[in-house]
């Protein structure tokens, strides 16, 4: 296999044994523990879990806003050691992430200014107008301020700010959580279209299982800082392996006959007898694309064949 073939087959992003610990000594808290996953080029990978599970912390480690305690993050085969312009982020709260005193054209064009990616103001304005059109805003709106937009429009501005850098990966951190249901659908459809048309990959962080199922090709399930299960969307929803995943799906308002009968089964980590710290990856039913984090005895107990 040639070097070019190797590069083409390797994942765009690879996270290996990521640990993120805050504080020191007795007051330290491990927010992310031994997390490993990958994202392929042009793929939308969903990271789901309840509040406090470590989703956003992982996203900030990938973008470079958090320096991980240990573990490695590779982008296009090279270890990430600093913020990379080819990885951009869409934040949860569009209002607090936009400077209210700046015009939209200056917010969206900030990355162009920092990296000097234009030769004239005319070229800069043209690039801004083009990306605003991509997210459903007009070039006339570039002269307005964030306070003159609705929540959905402000999130479109946030997406435009990320897209203008022509990134290969966008971390979307709960980017629809603060929006109305109808606007959520618009933003999710836009992300799907952008991925399809540009080949941009997404790390889609959310607690909304219905949106994750609709949008993502592969999914990772987080709890207490551990990635407990990862696999293709259909496998996760139709054949959940980990008790926490089954419990999460059972609580989901979308009818799921596979887990419907387990709704009376409440998952409590403290009384489950499961120790995440002792786990390691197992292939579910011999499927190397569907993995569950557990011990050998737990794997056998749950009836998951090798």
Can you tell me the distance from the alpha carbon of 34 to that of 50, in angstroms, rounded to the nearest whole number? 18
Mean pLDDT for 100-121 is: 95
Closest-CA residue to 293 (of 247, 231, 233)? 231
Q: Report the mean per-residue pLDDT for the chain.
A: 91
Examine the pLDDT at 226 and tell me if it is beyond 70.
yes
Mean pLDDT for 187-207 is: 96
Phi, psi of 58 (to 5 degrees): -65, -45
pLDDT tens, position by position, 241-254: 999 999 999 887 65
pLDDT at 9: 74
Lowest mean pLDDT among 57-66, 72-81, 191-200, 297-306: 297-306
Q: Are 30 and 17 in contact (CB under 8 A)?
A: no
Residue 261 binned pLDDT confidence (cut-offs 50, 70, 90): very low
Lowest mean pLDDT among 3-12, 86-95, 125-134, 267-276: 3-12
46 vs 5, more confident: 46
pLDDT at 26: 84
pLDDT at 252: 73
Can you tell me the distance from the alpha carbon of 223 to that of 246, in angstroms, rounded to the nearest whole number? 13
**For the chain, which domains are there?**
3-86+167-301 (3.40.50.300)
262 vs 84, more confident: 84
Mean pLDDT for 213-235 is: 97
pLDDT tens, position by position, 154-194: 999 999 999 999 999 999 999 999 899 999 999 999 999 99
pLDDT at 303: 85
Q: Which residues partner with 70 through β-bridges? A: 19
pLDDT at 113: 95
Residue 3 binned pLDDT confidence (cut-offs 50, 70, 90): very low
């Amino acid at each position: 296999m040639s070097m070019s073939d190797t590069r083409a087959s390797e994942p765009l992003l690879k996270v290996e044994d990521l640990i993120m610990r805050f504080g020191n000594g007795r007051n330290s808290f491990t927010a992310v523990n031994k997390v490993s996953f990958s994202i392929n080029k042009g793929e939308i990978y969903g990271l789901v879990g309840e509040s406090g599970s470590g989703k956003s912390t992982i996203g900030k480690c990938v973008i470079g806003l958090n320096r991980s305690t240990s573990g490695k993050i590779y982008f296009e085969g090279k270890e990430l050691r600093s913020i990379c312009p080819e990885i951009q982020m869409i934040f949860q709260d569009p209002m607090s992430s936009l400077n209210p005193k700046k015009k939209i054209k200056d917010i969206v064009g900030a990355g162009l200014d920092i990296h000097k990616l234009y030769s004239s103001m005319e070229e800069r304005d043209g690039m801004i107008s083009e990306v605003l059109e991509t997210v459903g805003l007009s070039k006339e709106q570039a002269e307005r301020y964030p306070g003159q937009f609705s929540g959905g429009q402000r999130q479109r501005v946030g997406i435009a700010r990320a897209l203008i850098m022509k990134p290969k990966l966008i971390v979307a951190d709960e980017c629809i959580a603060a929006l109305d249901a109808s606007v959520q659908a618009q933003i999710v459809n836009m992300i799907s279209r952008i991925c399809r048309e540009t080949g941009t990959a997404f790390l889609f962080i959310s607690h909304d299982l219905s949106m994750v199922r609709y949008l993502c090709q592969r999914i990772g399930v987080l709890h207490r800082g551990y990635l407990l299960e990862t696999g293709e969307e259909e496998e996760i929803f139709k054949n959940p392996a980990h008790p926490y995943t089954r419990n999460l799906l059972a609580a989901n308002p979308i009818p799921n006959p596979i887990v419907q009968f387990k709704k009376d089964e409440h998952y409590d980590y403290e009384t489950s007898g499961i120790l995440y710290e002792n786990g390691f990856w197992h292939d579910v039913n011999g499927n190397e694309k569907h993995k569950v984090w557990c011990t050998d005895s737990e794997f056998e107990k749950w009836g998951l064949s090798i």
